Amino acid sequence: MQIDLAALAHNYGVLHGGNAENLAAVVKADAYGLGANEIAAALWAEGCREFFVAQAAEGVQLRRRLPDAHIYVLEGVTTASYATLSAQNLRPVLNSIEQCALWSPSGLPASLQLDSGMARLGLSAAEVLPAVRNHDLDVRVLLSHFARADEVEHDFTELQIQRVISVFTALQQLRPELRLSFSNSAACVSGVALPAGIEQLGRAGIGLYGGSPIAGSRAHDSGLKAVASVFGQVLQLRNLEAGAPVGYGGTYIASAQERIMIVGVGYADGVPRLLSNQGEVFFQGQRCSIRGRVSMDMLHADASKVDVAVGDWVEVIGENICVDDVAAQAQTIPYEVLTGLGKRLHRVYGTDSDMEGYSP
């Protein structure tokens, strides 16, 4: 697995549009499976100073790598995590009245989440102002989350904006330095407009990592580059006769003489099993159809049109077999594909020039 840090930096630039100080990076779930420490360090070098994680343990790990970063913990605070958050200077995203009461004695900065229409974490609009007043919270950021920004110009996006801005402007009377964190990758690339004069801290996730944040499109449509590439090594080549079944269950049967390659990567490495008989791998400028079922450690692919040899590496996900297409074929989203990439994949970090010799 190659992680192209130059492509990551490019995507960060596209998403912040020249204002790096106004865009935080979401590095939860080990930076969507790409390695939070390495990804965050690379983004820090690009000017990113604020990061979001899901859990306190993720924040502790990231704090070791970035001692001066602002790190927000989306799950908020619990009695079990209070001491850790305080000691590690992690900022909880407070999601309930109970969390507000628990964090209040710390006197430390926090964010506050408003549920603007997802029925997920967050306070209701009626709870926000009383919570800040009653618990004297040092709220630096009001956070909410677009539910349908990936569906460009959906009416619900405008409704959410109205709800959030109403609460934000009222809360800003109590906390004049308050910032709003609302826009995700989809909102960044689709140009969702908020009222003028509101300082916003965007939160970029999937767009950073080369997945399309817009439903039904590919990342390159928004000027984003592939960051993660997965390669499998050719373990064996076989010549099939007509009528020969391939793989578990014999779901593919050769209709004529055919040459296939057995590639050493499978669903244990994060290649979705739903790519069986419909996905592709890439080698020498050619897309090679996957034959039969993807198994735990291997897959079969057509080798009839390429000059491939044992030991060669073929692309399974990357610049040519984009993660958006893989997700569509697997009936899921690029988030799930990236976070499902297996830990046994050897990860190589660098730029295109650093990684010469690794790609097929």
72 has catalytic annotation:
no
Residue 220 domain flag: no
Most confident residue range from 148-157, 185-194, 252-261: 252-261
Question: Alpha helices, DSSP H only, in 110-248?
Answer: 125-135, 155-174, 185-190
- Write the CB contacts of 354 (distance below 8 Å, at least 6 apart in sequence): none
Question: pLDDT tier at 148 (50, 70, 90 boundaries)?
Answer: confident
Same domain? For 241 and 189 the reply is no
Indicate which residue of 28, 32, 252, 267 is catalytic.
Answer: 28
The answer, yes or no, to whether residue 93 has pLDDT greater than 70, is yes
Same domain? For 97 and 147 the reply is yes
Chain mean pLDDT for the chain = 94
Same domain? For 195 and 332 the reply is no
The answer, yes or no, to whether residue 332 has pLDDT greater than 70, is yes
pLDDT of 199 reads 74
Burial 194-203 (b: 16+ CB within 10 A, else e): eeeeeebbbb
Cβ pair 56, 90 in contact under 8 A: yes
| Mean pLDDT, range 70-90, rounded to an integer | 98
| Mean pLDDT, range 143-149, rounded to an integer | 88
| Mean pLDDT, range 242-267, rounded to an integer | 97
* Closest among 93, 85, 8, 89 to 47, alpha carbons compared: 8
Dihedrals φ, ψ of 325, to 5°? -70, -40
Same domain? For 204 and 237 the reply is no
| Mean pLDDT, range 104-125, rounded to an integer | 95
Residue 16 domain flag: yes
Q: Which CATH number do you get for residue 68?
A: 3.20.20.10
Same domain? For 159 and 233 the reply is no
Domain of residue 235 covers: 228-350
Same domain? For 164 and 253 the reply is no
Question: pLDDT tier at 191 (50, 70, 90 boundaries)?
Answer: confident
Top pLDDT among 195 and 42 is at 42
Dihedrals φ, ψ of 92, to 5°? -70, 145
- Write the CB contacts of 80 (distance below 8 Å, at least 6 apart in sequence): none
Cβ pair 12, 48 in contact under 8 A: yes
pLDDT of 356 reads 58
Please give the tally of structural domains in the chain. 2
| Residue 225 structure tokens | 């580059």
| Residue 347 structure tokens | 């990860």
The answer, yes or no, to whether residue 147 has pLDDT greater than 90, is no
Cβ pair 157, 148 in contact under 8 A: yes
| Mean pLDDT, range 60-70, rounded to an integer | 98
Residue 127 domain flag: yes
Indicate which residue of 12, 209, 225, 248 is catalytic.
Answer: 248
What is the rounded CA–CA span in Å between residue 111 and residue 94? 6
Least confidently predicted of 3-12, 17-26, 186-195, 261-270: 186-195
| Mean pLDDT, range 188-203, rounded to an integer | 83
Q: Which helix (H) or strand (E) holds 82?
A: helix 82-87
Extended beta strands in the chain, E state: 2-4, 23-26, 50-53, 70-73, 91-94, 109-113, 138-143, 179-181, 202-204, 228-240, 245-246, 252-253, 258-263, 280-283, 286-291, 299-302, 313-317, 348-350
3-state helix, strand, coil in the chain (%, to 5): 35, 25, 45
Using only C-alpha atoms, what is the Rg of the chain?
23
Cβ pair 167, 142 in contact under 8 A: yes
What percent of the chain has pLDDT above 90? 84
pLDDT of 152 reads 76
For 223-236, the pLDDT digits (tens) are 999 999 999 999 99
Same domain? For 235 and 313 the reply is yes
What is the rounded CA–CA span in Å between residue 250 and residue 260? 15
pLDDT of 359 reads 56
pLDDT of 353 reads 54
Same domain? For 75 and 120 the reply is yes
Question: pLDDT tier at 200 (50, 70, 90 boundaries)?
Answer: confident
Question: pLDDT tier at 193 (50, 70, 90 boundaries)?
Answer: confident
- Residue 349 pairs in a beta bridge with 3
Going from the C-alpha of 296 to that of each of 135, 234, 258, 292, the distances in angstroms are 52, 15, 23, 13
Least confidently predicted of 21-25, 61-65, 182-186, 318-322: 182-186
For 34-60, the pLDDT digits (tens) are 999 999 999 999 999 999 999 999 999
The answer, yes or no, to whether residue 14 has pLDDT greater than 90, is yes
pLDDT of 154 reads 85
How many Å from the N-terminal Cα to the C-terminal Cα in the chain? 12
Same domain? For 196 and 251 the reply is no
- Write the CB contacts of 144 (distance below 8 Å, at least 6 apart in sequence): 113, 114, 115, 116, 122, 160, 164, 181, 182
pLDDT of 355 reads 54
pTM: 0.94
248 has catalytic annotation:
yes
What is the rounded CA–CA span in Å between residue 88 and residue 68? 11
Same domain? For 164 and 233 the reply is no
